[in-house]
């Protein structure tokens, strides 16, 4: 495992050689373009690498990661990634992946100040408030944190569906599913949370947007 900065380049050379041995045109093929079927919105946590845990290769997953896999509707970085993935790459599945033991979620459950990040984590406190009755009823702190991880993923899935980007894709009749999953760091298992959304039929009315009519001049 590389510990020093320079060691990254040695590891990289070994990786390049191993890929070329598998397939001499490996990089040539990849350099022609990408058509990944998945957009992954995950946590920045170093233990949750999107490709490795899903057995996918370079070119197969478009990735956005931030602390606690959040979908904040004013986050230009997330929105730009989403827009590009949906409208240019035309991904079929958007996956929000949380993970048990998420430091961001655990921090959001407490009252301690951590600095600037508290403003980012506040969105998770909003999720807690939305599900306060269920969460307060869980006595065990770890179990409560695990459940908040799941509920947080669920809310981020719903927040994705509220964006104009997802709603317009659906209005065009496109197949596009948004999924919520959780990764268990302690055993490596991915769990589907059964919160997949593929249209706006169950969306609360206030979030449903009409398709914008084209201006005819
Ligand atoms: Co995390």
Domain boundaries, the chain: 1-32, 34-200
Token pair in block for residue 17: 């050689």
Q: Taking the CB of residue 215, how many other CB atoms lie within 10 A of it?
A: 5
Using one digit for the tens of pLDDT, what is the confidence trace for 51-61? 999 999 999 99
Which pLDDT belongs to residue 134?
A: 98
According to DSSP, the residues that pair with 39 across neighbouring strands are 62, 94
Give the model's confidence band at 215: pLDDT under 50 very low, under 70 low, under 90 confident, else very high: low
Which pLDDT belongs to residue 194?
A: 98
Residue 6 CA, ligand 1 centroid: distance in Å? 28
- Quote the mean pLDDT of the chain: 96
Question: How many angstroms separate the first and last alpha carbons of the chain?
Answer: 62
147 classed as catalytic:
no
Residue 161 CA, ligand 1 centroid: distance in Å? 22
Give the model's confidence band at 123: pLDDT under 50 very low, under 70 low, under 90 confident, else very high: very high
131 classed as catalytic:
no
Which pLDDT belongs to residue 217?
A: 63
Residue 114 CA, ligand 1 centroid: distance in Å? 15
The catalytically annotated residue of 64, 93, 99, 123 is 99
Which pLDDT belongs to residue 70?
A: 98
Which pLDDT belongs to residue 3?
A: 85
Residue 40 CA, ligand 1 centroid: distance in Å? 14
Average pLDDT over residues 64-75: 98
102 classed as catalytic:
yes
User: Which CATH architecture is the domain 34-200 placed in?
Assistant: 3-Layer(aba) Sandwich (3.40)
Three-class HEC string of the chain: CCCCCCHHHHHHHHHHHHHHHHCCCHHHHHCCCCCCCEEEEEECCCCCCHHHHHCCCCCCEEEEEECCCCCCCCCHHHHHHHHHHHHHCCCCEEEEEEECCCHHHHHHHCCCCCCCHHHHHHHHHHHHHHCHHHHHCCCCHHHHHHHHHHHHHHHHHHHHHCCHHHHHHHHCCCCCEEEEEEECCCCCCEEECCCCECCCCCCCHHHCCCCCCCCCC
Q: What angle do CA 196, 200, 204 make, to 5 degrees?
A: 105
Distance of alpha carbon 60 from alpha carbon 183, whole angstroms: 19
Using one digit for the tens of pLDDT, what is the confidence trace for 125-150? 999 999 999 999 999 999 999 999 99
**In angstroms, how far is CA 57 from the centroid of its own chain?**
17
The catalytically annotated residue of 10, 47, 174, 192 is 47
The catalytically annotated residue of 64, 93, 97, 102 is 102
According to DSSP, the residues that pair with 179 across neighbouring strands are 95
Q: What does residue 206 show for φ and ψ, rounded to 5 degrees? A: -65, -25
Residue 46 CA, ligand 1 centroid: distance in Å? 9
Which pLDDT belongs to residue 151?
A: 98
Residue 115 CA, ligand 1 centroid: distance in Å? 17
83 classed as catalytic:
no
97 classed as catalytic:
no
Average pLDDT over residues 13-23: 97
Q: Which residue has the higher pLDDT, 160 or 215?
A: 160
Residue 58 CA, ligand 1 centroid: distance in Å? 23
Which pLDDT belongs to residue 109?
A: 97
Using one digit for the tens of pLDDT, what is the confidence trace for 163-210? 999 999 999 999 999 999 999 999 999 999 999 999 999 999 999 998
Give the model's confidence band at 1: pLDDT under 50 very low, under 70 low, under 90 confident, else very high: confident
């Amino acid at each position: 495992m590389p510990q020093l900065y320079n060691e990254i380049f040695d590891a990289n050379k070994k990786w390049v050689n191993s890929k070329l041995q598998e397939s001499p045109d490996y990089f040539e093929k990849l350099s022609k373009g990408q058509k990944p079927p998945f957009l992954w919105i995950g946590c920045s946590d170093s233990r949750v690498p999107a490709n490795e845990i899903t057995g996918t290769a370079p070119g197969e997953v478009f990735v956005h990661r931030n602390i606690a896999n959040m979908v904040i509707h004013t986050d230009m970085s997330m929105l730009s990634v989403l827009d590009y993935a949906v409208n240019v790459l035309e991904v079929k599945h958007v996956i929000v992946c949380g993970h048990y033991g998420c430091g961001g979620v655990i921090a959001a459950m407490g009252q301690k100040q951590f600095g600037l990040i508290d403003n980012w984590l506040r969105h998770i406190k909003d999720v807690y408030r939305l599900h306060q009755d269920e969460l307060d009823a869980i006595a065990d702190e770890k179990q409560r944190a695990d459940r908040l991880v799941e509920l947080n993923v669920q809310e981020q899935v719903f927040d994705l569906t509220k964006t104009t980007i997802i709603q317009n894709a659906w209005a065009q009749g496109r197949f596009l599913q948004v999924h919520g999953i959780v990764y268990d760091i302690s055993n490596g298992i991915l769990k589907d949370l059964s919160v997949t959304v593929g249209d706006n039929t169950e969306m609360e009315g206030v979030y449903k947007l009409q398709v914008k009519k084209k201006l005819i001049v």
